[in-house]
Structure 1
Amino acid sequence: MVDRGNIENGSGAELGGARFTEKKLTAIECTYAVVRSRIVEGVYPPGSKLHLETLKSSFGISGSTLREALTRLMADRLVLTEGQKGFRVTPMSLSDLEDLTDARIKLETSALAESIKLGDDAWEDNLVTCFHRLARAQERLEADPAVSFDAWEVRNKEFHEALAAASPSAWLARFRRVLFQSSERYRRLSGTMGPIPFEVHNEHEEIFKAAMARDTDKAVSALAEHIRRSVNVIRAKALHPD
């Protein structure tokens, strides 16, 4: 069973072999985190059915807890349900990735342009910090993509959020996060199964320097090309059949 005493005390909780210690987590949050991780990593393959009784038994949780966690994953577009057929992992396809990519480019470049226009010294300071952290994570990614991807993905997310942090729209930020999370499975496929991503640091550096120089056109163009990387690699290397 989930150790709710530990959760409430903030000392950590175990769920399905995973341990969470950074903050107080409810059973729903723990379940969400574990199932999400397994979907992103491919433990639960795209299109596969999620058997509720098996999950409840293996995690030691109630049906209501599991359903709430799966509902949150539906909001992330990682799980879907079809009538009375239950829950399954959202399929992956090149057409879906292309759609995701186009939507991300529209929202992220718009937010970046606003940040360049409105960002203050604090925005610049945070962007510098996030870029340097990402650069260190990139070095480890190039050395061992499969082992280092998770840590790199955290820093990558921080950097992209820092780029858009001065954009004032809360709705835009919400939709950007959904699209970013939905595209993580494709980034993992591209980053771990494709060629070693040496060029990614150069792409991030170009975006960073253009943003710091307040060169909106160059920064937006570089960001758009960077976001297209996953679809270009996956299509060129035939990493995912469509």
Structure 2
Amino acid sequence: MFSKKVYFNDFASFMMVLIVGSLIVGAIEGINIGRNVKSYDTYNEEVVPGDYMIFNFKINEGARLYINYDAENLSTYDGADIIFSVMNDNYFELWVNAGNPEPDILNSTFYYEDAYVNINNLQVPREDIYYFVVYNNNSFDVDISVHVTIIPWGHIIAAGIMATLLLFAATSLGIRVIHITVLNARQEKRSPGNENEDAPVAQTSRTENKDGVFCQSCGSPLTPKDTRYCPQCGASV
């Protein structure tokens, strides 16, 4: 029969290490996801001509940006084109040193000029501090609503990989344990100790001793020809 130590053989030990490691790394990645999901929301912000709104985030490489904004003319409530510029730290410093002029595509990492924008899955080129400048380049006041969300896809992918490894390890270990359990059960059934060594011996009507064979019913001696019935009393032998 297999020893209980079979359950903790090299394969099982490796799977246990993989499960524990996946849990630890998955927990760390989950914490990183929570820390790195960022968002900015503003609604119906009034911006006068030549003025702007600014907010910034430190964004890791591999993160994805989801940007949605709309701008309306406060007088007519029609859509009004505005400038939405995303600048890295270097571009922003140059822009500030230049006196905060109207942003253009040359001093922007990303540049949009429209009344309504909905951008999904935008990826920054490298990790940096990025400044979001919403600039009213119109001659009238505008009403602006902005929603920006930053999703750390790198951490999400890593967490997904860890979850897959964890599922694989747990499934493999479970199959291994079931397999060993079945083998143990079969081995126990086949072991000599389970055979019935005290099986009853079929009873006969013959009595044997050193002088010959005699009928148990009447005691008459039997010859080799008397294999079924006693010739004296007719009892079955």
Report the TM-score when normalising by structure 2. 0.20
Higher relative contact order (CA 8 A, sep 6+): 2
Give the TM-score normalised by the residue count of structure 1. Answer: 0.20
Decide which structure has the larger Cα Rg and report it: 2
Q: Which has the higher helix share?
A: 1
More strand by share: 2
